[in-house]
């Protein structure tokens, strides 16, 4: 446990998390100092094209959100241009023998190109936001290479293609198994107008057709984006190594952050550290990807670290992770204290919109994900502010569940001012299912379902000892409304007048609630069945009018992530 002046790590862990073991430094492979510090103890594709959701300004907490935005100089090509400055794109696709139209390519984006995202003009990867985008050049690669890369019949090797990568390229990996570690750096970036796309061909049935067996030397990362901006990674299976896809900026300060990475429809497993890892990465997207079987070197499925802002995480799945299945950790100990910045300096706790706040992560959307069966704790949200968590299923963690917390004594670095709407949380022991601790206040918590169970053989039964919500003495300003508590108990607060609790549990309230041995759980088994007591109970919320599957909600709405006709 690292303890610096003014740090509450030890206090927080002893009081509420029962043991914060030392965590490995994520940057120990020779990269930037990307440090992982967890609170607490140390399959299948997500079907569908993606569903657009509105993010009205009324749904975003107003605190610490000044009107001004921050961006590059007008001459910088990363600045979002007027739509008129781009010529009409060519058609995307081709004959069957050239890989064809990308199967399982980007779905409908959460934010279309040029739109507003949480009060700022979007700067996401164009391959994600603009379905009409087409490459200015396609380079073909294969495991053996040998050709010029100008056509599918004459593929080059990956290293040669990466060495010559330029904005507007689509580097298409021909179906097959690759062995190696591949990297783009800051000299091989795309731009806002012309991203670089690493595209993996699909099989005829739409399944992923490209596997990369990560190398066993150096950084041991299948695809590494080292301060490379505007790169999209689409459709790869990354196996082994330390990291599947790793994307990091050049420093903790905002101008040094990476911008515009998108990881879409990828599958990472068997990594010693993390299948998907970012550090200092802004305007990043993770969508329709799967992470599992991460190892003891770090052990997250997805890890977003070191103060990245404006991220989208949608329709992903994690299971069988050695540590917290999903983690956002701004890590102010590393990003502020260790570089001589006080926690209460605006450079540490200010707003990302002002180019400040390198000790906090802001403006994140977590939407429609399924994080389950962690072999340790559930998601950690550490110094995360002004973000939206909706329509997710979090469940079956071996230790405690989801944590909103922080590591310092500065209240402004708490995980605060977040929207937590229409989620399903499932706990299977007496630990904290959801906790708000260490100044993690002003969160808006509505229309969620919290379930505490234990097992009688393989059958789930009500568990009155589950701490469904734990709130410590520093956190008393959250809003709770319309939530439904099943079995279990609340610690540090009581059920509000417009919330409901039920001491019993019946698995038939869900379409096919899993048995104890089940790990390969489709998220749709949690659709509420006829007669479920949490149906048609809630107020329709402005920013969550669609459910996890894009079904429109009608008042009175069903609680949790699904709406049933």
Tell which phi-psi region holds residue 522, choosing left (phi > 0), alpha (psi between -120 and 50) or beta.
Answer: beta
Residue whose token pair is 């073909």: 140
DSSP 558: P
Residue 28 neighbours by CB under 8 Å, 6+ apart: none
Rounded CA-CA distance 142/527 in Å is: 42
3-state secondary structure of 525: helix
> Per residue, what are the HEC states of 249-280?
CCCCCHHHCEECCEEECCEEECCCCEEEEEEC
pLDDT of residue 231: 98
When pLDDT is averaged across residues 4-18 and rounded to a whole number, the result is 30
The answer for residues whose C-beta is within 8 angstroms of residue 473's C-beta and 6 or more apart is 492
| Angle subtended at Cα 563 by Cα 560 and Cα 565, rounded to the nearest 5 degrees | 155
Let me know how many helices (H) and strands (E) the chain has, helices first.
5, 42
Q: How far is CA 38 from CA 41, 85, 243, 400, 435, in A?
A: 8, 45, 18, 12, 14
Would the pLDDT of 245 be above 80?
yes
Nearest alpha carbon to residue 550 among 46, 124, 56: 46
Element at 211 (helix H, strand E): strand 210-213
> For 43-406, which CATH class?
mainly beta
Task: Tell me how crowded residue 551 is: count the other CB atoms within 10 A of its CB.
Answer: 15
How confident is the model over 501-514, as a mean pLDDT? Answer: 97
Q: Which residues pair with 502 in a beta bridge?
A: 486
pLDDT of residue 20: 33
pLDDT band at 414 (very low <50, low <70, confident <90, very high): very high
Instruction: Tell which wins on pLDDT, 35 or 468.
Output: 468
Give the pLDDT score at 107.
Answer: 59
Of the candidates 565, 532, 533, the one whose C-alpha atom is nearest the C-alpha of residue 549 is: 565
Distance of CA 330 to the CA centre of its chain: 13
Q: Which of 516, 480, 520, 515 minimizes the C-alpha distance to 501?
A: 480
CB count within 10 Å of CB 163 equals: 12
Helix spans in 446-486 (H): none
Residue 75 has pLDDT above 70, yes or no: no
Tell me what pLDDT residue 8 has: 28
Closest CA to 469 of 493, 505, 487, 496: 493
Distances in whole angstroms, Cα of residue 142 to Cα of each of 155, 231, 544? 6, 20, 43
Give yes or no for residue 47 having a pLDDT over 60. Answer: no
- Whether residue 167 contacts residue 187, with contact meaning beta carbons closer than 8 Å, is answered with no
The per-residue pLDDT for 23 is 31
Q: What pLDDT does 150 receive? A: 98
Burial class of residue 203, CB neighbours in 10 A (0-12, 13-18, 19+) = exposed
Query: φ and ψ at 259, to 5 degrees?
Result: -135, 135
Please report, rounded to a whole number, the percentage of residues in the chain having pLDDT higher than 70: 81
Cβ atoms within 10 Å of 251's Cβ, excluding its own: 18
Every domain of the chain and the residues it spans: 43-406, 416-565
Prediction pTM value: 0.84
Which two tokens mark 260?
């515009």
The mean pLDDT value of the chain amounts to 84
Contacts of 30 (CB under 8 A, 6+ apart): 218, 219
H helices within 286-436, ranges in order?
332-335, 346-349
Give the DSSP H/E element, type plus range, for residue 162: helix 158-163
76-94 mean pLDDT: 32
With contact defined as beta carbons under 8 Å apart, do 249 and 217 qualify?
A: no
Residues 170-201 have pLDDT tens digits of: 999 999 999 999 999 999 999 999 999 999 99
Whole-number Å distance between alpha carbons of 370 and 391: 9
Instruction: List, for residues 206-222, the tens digit of each pLDDT value.
Output: 999 999 999 999 999 99
Q: Which helix (H) or strand (E) holds 160?
A: helix 158-163
Structure tokens at 410: 């500065």
DSSP E strands in 99-190: the ranges are 116-117, 120-121, 137-141, 169-173, 176-179, 182-185
pLDDT in tens, 509-538: 999 999 887 788 899 999 999 999 999 999
pLDDT digits (tens, 9 = 90+) for 548-565: 998 899 999 999 999 998
Predicted confidence (pLDDT) per residue in 271-323, tens digit: 999 999 999 999 999 999 999 999 999 999 999 999 999 999 999 999 999 99
pLDDT given for residue 516 in this prediction: 82
- pLDDT band for 476, please (50, 70, 90 cuts): confident
Per-residue DSSP letter, 227 = S
Residue 188: half-sphere exposure toward Cβ, Cα within 13 Å: 21
């Amino acid at each position: 446990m690292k303890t610096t002046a003014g740090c509450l790590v030890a206090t927080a862990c002893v009081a509420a998390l029962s043991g914060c073991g030392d965590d490995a430094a994520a940057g120990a492979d020779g990269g930037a100092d990307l440090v992982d510090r967890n609170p607490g103890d140390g399959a299948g594709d997500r079907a569908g094209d993606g569903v657009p959701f509105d993010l009205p300004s009324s749904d975003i907490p107003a605190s610490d959100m000044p009107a001004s935005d921050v961006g590059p100089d007008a001459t910088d090509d990363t600045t979002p241009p007027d739509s008129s400055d781009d010529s009409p794109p060519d058609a995307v696709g081709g004959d069957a023998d050239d890989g064809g139209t990308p199967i399982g390519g980007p779905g409908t984006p959460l934010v279309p190109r040029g739109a507003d995202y949480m009060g700022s003009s979007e700067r996401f990867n164009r391959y994600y936001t603009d379905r009409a985008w087409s490459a200015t050049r396609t380079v073909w690669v294969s495991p053996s290479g040998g050709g010029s890369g100008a056509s599918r019949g004459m593929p080059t090797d990956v290293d040669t293609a990466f060495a010559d990568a330029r904005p507007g390229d689509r580097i298409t990996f021909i179906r097959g198994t690759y062995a190696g570690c591949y990297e783009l750096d800051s000299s091989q970036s795309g731009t806002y107008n012309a991203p670089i796309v690493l595209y993996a061909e699909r099989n005829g049935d739409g399944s992923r057709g490209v596997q990369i067996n990560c190398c066993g030397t150096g950084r041991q990362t299948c695809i590494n984006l080292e301060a490379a901006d505007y790169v999209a990674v689409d459709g790869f299976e990354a196996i082994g190594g330390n990291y599947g896809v790793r994307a990091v900026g050049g420093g903790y300060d905002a101008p040094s952050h990476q911008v515009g990475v998108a990881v879409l429809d990828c599958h990472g497993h068997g990594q010693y550290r993390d299948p998907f890892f970012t550090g200092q990465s802004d305007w990043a997207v993770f969508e329709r990807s799967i992470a599992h079987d991460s190892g003891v070197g770090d052990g997250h499925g997805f890890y977003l670290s070191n103060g990245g802002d404006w991220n989208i995480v949608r329709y992903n799945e994690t299971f069988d992770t050695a540590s917290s299945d999903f983690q956002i950790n701004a890590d102010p100990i590393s990003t502020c204290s260790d570089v001589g910045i006080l926690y209460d300096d605006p450079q540490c706790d200010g707003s990302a919109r002002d180019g400040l706040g390198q000790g906090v992560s802001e403006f994140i959307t977590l939407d429609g994900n399924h994080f389950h069966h962690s072999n340790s704790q559930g998601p950690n949200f550490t110094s995360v502010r002004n973000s939206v968590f909706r329509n997710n299923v979090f469940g079956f963690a071996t230790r405690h569940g989801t944590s909103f917390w922080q590591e310092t004594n500065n209240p402004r670095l708490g995980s605060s001012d977040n929207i937590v709407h229409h989620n399903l949380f499932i706990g299977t022991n007496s630990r904290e299912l959801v906790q708000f601790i260490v100044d993690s206040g002003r969160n808006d918590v509505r229309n969620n379902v919290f379930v505490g169970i234990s097992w009688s053989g393989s059958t789930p039964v009500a568990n009155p000892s589950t701490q469904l919500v734990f709130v410590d003495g520093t956190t008393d300003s959250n809003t709770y409304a319309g939530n439904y508590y099943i079995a279990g108990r609340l610690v540090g607060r009581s059920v509000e007048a417009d919330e409901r609790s039920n001491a019993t549990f019946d698995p038939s309230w869900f379409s096919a609630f899993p048995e104890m041995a089940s790990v390969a759980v489709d998220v749709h088994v949690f659709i509420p069945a006829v007669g479920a007591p949490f149906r048609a109970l809630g107020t329709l919320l402005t920013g969550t009018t669609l459910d996890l599957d894009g079904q429109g909600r009608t008042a009175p709405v069903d609680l949790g992530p699904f709406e049933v006709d």
